Structure 1
Amino acid sequence: MLYYYYDLLESIGLDLLFASIFFLIGMAIKDVLKQGNVPVFGQRIVWMVLFLGCAGFIAKGIIQISWEGTGLG
């Protein structure tokens, strides 16, 4: 196989790994919040922080793809 295909498979695999890690972290946080009887305000703060972390990761990927498409990266 060509190097390009190895690079493509590696990047797809890494993205899937990060997505699965975010999912597992979310499930663990859900379980901890449920068992700890955390107030609704605290739950919303926790989920907002988790969402912003995921959104930052997605934004980084989009910026990286757009920069590489224009030849900057």
Structure 2
Amino acid sequence: MLAEYFEVIEAVGLNLFFAFIFIFIGLSIHDVMKKNNVPKNGRYVVYFVLFLGCAGFIAKGVIQFVWESQGVG
């Protein structure tokens, strides 16, 4: 049974890994900015850039899902 669902388990595990990596990156960036007294505008820019990186991975996953469901990829 495990061999049948190996690709699904691998894809879910990889997505969870990326989610944890983004969470840890966000927490470490937050800690560094808090210790160095970064102004609020700078924090907003840093979090926006981090969000764009995360949104890129989400968009890639959605596009890949749509293409695979239509038989393109």
Would you say same fold, with TM above 0.5? yes
Structure 2: how far apart are the matches of 1:46 and 1:2? 41
Q: How high is the sequence identity, in percent, across the aligned residues?
A: 56
The two structures have a TM-score, normalised by structure 2, of 0.94
In structure 2, the gaps of 5 or more residues are none
Alignment-derived partner of residue 59 in structure 2: 59
SS in 2 for 1:72: coil
* TM-score normalized by the length of structure 1: 0.94
Distance in 2, matches of 1:14 and 1:7, equals 10
Report the CA distance between 1:3 and its aligned residue.
4.4
Aligned length in residues: 73
Secondary structure in 1 aligned to 2:5? helix
Other structure's SS at 1:63 match: helix
5 Å-filtered alignment, 1:1-73, equals 1=1, 3-73=3-73
Give the alignment's Cα RMSD to 1 decimal: 1.1
Q: Which has the higher helix share?
A: 1
Superimposed CA distance per residue, residues 5-38 of structure 1 (whole angstroms, 9 cap, x where no aligned partner): 0000000000000000000000001101100100
